[in-house]
Amino acid sequence: MNLMITDSAALEVRKFLEAEQVNGSGGLRVRVVPGGCSGFQYAMNIEESPQATDEVVETSGLRVFVDMFSAQYLDNVQIDYVNSVMGSGFTFNNPNSQGGCGCGSSFSA
C-alpha cells in the first residue's frame, strides 16, 4: 500500500506525537469509516502501537497504522496539512475517490 504524508502534515503529526508522549512504537492511525455526507469519511488519531492485523506504513519518518478495511481506500492517498484564510487542517487527496463534498473529509468510492 502506498500512503503519502507531506512534510507539512508530518510536522503537525509529530507535534501530536510529542504532546501525547508516544514512544518509538507509536504512530498515526488513519482510518476510513462509514459516514459523512458522501458515504465514507477519514479519521486519524495517535496510538501507542499497531494492532496485530494492521499494515504499518513508514512515510515521511512516521509510522502509520492502517486496518485491512481502510487499506483498500487509502492506496495512493496523499495527506497534507494546509493553512488558509478559511482555516487550517489535514486534507486528503484521494485519486480513487469517485466524489466528495465541501467538507474535505468525506468521499464516495
Mean pLDDT calculated for residue range 5-20:
95
- For 109, the 3-state DSSP assignment is coil
Q: Are 8 and 80 in contact (CB under 8 A)?
A: yes
For residue 105, being part of any structural domain is answered with no
- Give the domain range for residue 51: 3-95
pLDDT score recorded for residue 103: 47
For residue 101, being part of any structural domain is answered with no
Identify the CATH number of the domain in which residue 58 sits.
Answer: 2.60.300.12
Question: Tens of pLDDT along 67-96?
Answer: 999 999 999 999 999 988 878 899 899 888
Question: Tens of pLDDT along 27-72?
Answer: 999 999 987 666 888 999 999 999 999 999 999 999 999 999 999 9
For residue 109, being part of any structural domain is answered with no
The three grid cell numbers given for residue 78, joined into one nine-digit string: 496523499
Q: Say yes or no to pLDDT of 6 above 80.
A: yes
Structural domain count of the chain: 1
For residue 102, being part of any structural domain is answered with no
- Of 70, 92, 71, 72, the closest CA to residue 81 belongs to 92
